[in-house]
């Protein structure tokens, strides 16, 4: 139901009927109301589910990929998450107007996920140890704003690659060569 609700609120905004969401999800309207007694409860649960999936992806990606690659893959998912959040913006405003803050724990959960990814990269020697996860999150948010919309997905990817390059541990410098100019140590990542 939650995935269906995210798609519906992203496509149609808060005007989408709960009956159409229930029908698309393959459940009766009574089932939907038993789980989510109000439209606002459904919107909030759908948003929080998207946030949880993104944050949980950090650990899942670290089990399958080297830390730097896991971090970059998570960044792609973050851009998708922000696009979904943007698509749900009108519906989320209804939740806020009803007196609930669906974003109350979002930043803390996102920073915790990024902290796990970056710490794994630092331990592997591929991510700089001086990176602040909050700064990375701010950068990701700014990049997502600069590259809104599916037609700008290539731009978002290039910006994410640029951010990732800044996160990588710099190459160590070897002693100067015969010309007096240092050369990168082949032992660095």
In tens digits, the chain (189 residues) has pLDDT values of 999 999 999 888 888 999 999 999 999 999 999 999 999 999 999 999 999 999 999 999 999 999 999 999 999 999 989 888 888 888 899 889 988 888 889 999 999 999 999 999 999 999 999 999 999 999 998 887 776 766 777 888 889 999 999 999 875 655 555 555 544 444 444
The whole-number pLDDT of residue 84 equals: 85
Distance CA 9, CA 42 (A): 10
Q: Residue 151: how many CB atoms within 10 A of its CB?
A: 8
The DSSP 8-state label assigned to residue 149 in this structure reads S
The DSSP output letter for 41 is H
At residue 187, the pLDDT reads 43
Q: How far apart are CA 18 and CA 24, in angstroms?
A: 10
Paired tokens of 67: 């830390």
Distances (CA, A) of 160 to 74, 147, 165, 168, 185: 10, 10, 9, 12, 26
Q: How many CB atoms lie within 10 A of CB 25?
A: 17
Instruction: Report H helices in the chain.
Output: 2-12, 18-25, 29-35, 39-64, 67-87, 89-97, 106-124, 133-146, 153-167
User: Nearest-CA neighbor of 119 among 129, 108, 105?
Assistant: 129
> How far, in Å, CA of 2 to CA of 189, rounded?
41
Query: How many Å apart are CA 5 and CA 46, to the nearest integer?
Result: 6
Q: Positive or negative, the Cα torsion across 70, 71, 72, 77?
A: positive
State the pTM of this model.
0.82
């Amino acid at each position: 139901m939650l995935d269906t609700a995210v798609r519906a609120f992203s496509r149609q905004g808060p005007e989408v009927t709960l009956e159409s969401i229930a029908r698309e999800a393959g459940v009766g309207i009574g089932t939907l109301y038993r789980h989510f007694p109000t439209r606002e409860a459904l919107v909030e649960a759908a948003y929080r589910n998207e946030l949880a999936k993104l944050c949980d992806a950090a650990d899942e990606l670290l089990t399958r990929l080297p830390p730097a690659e896991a971090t970059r893959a998570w960044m792609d998912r973050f851009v998708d998450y922000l696009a979904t959040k943007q698509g749900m913006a009108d519906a989320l405003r209804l939740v806020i107007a009803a007196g609930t803050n669906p974003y109350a724990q979002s930043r803390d959960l996102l920073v915790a996920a990024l902290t796990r990814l970056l710490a794994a990269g630092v331990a592997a020697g591929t991510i700089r140890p001086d990176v602040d996860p909050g700064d990375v999150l701010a950068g990701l948010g700014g990049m997502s704003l600069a590259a809104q919309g599916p037609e700008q997905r290539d731009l978002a990817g290039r910006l994410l690659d640029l951010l990732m390059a800044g996160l990588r541990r710099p190459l160590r410098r070897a002693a100067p060569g015969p010309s007096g100019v240092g050369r990168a140590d082949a032992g660095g990542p």
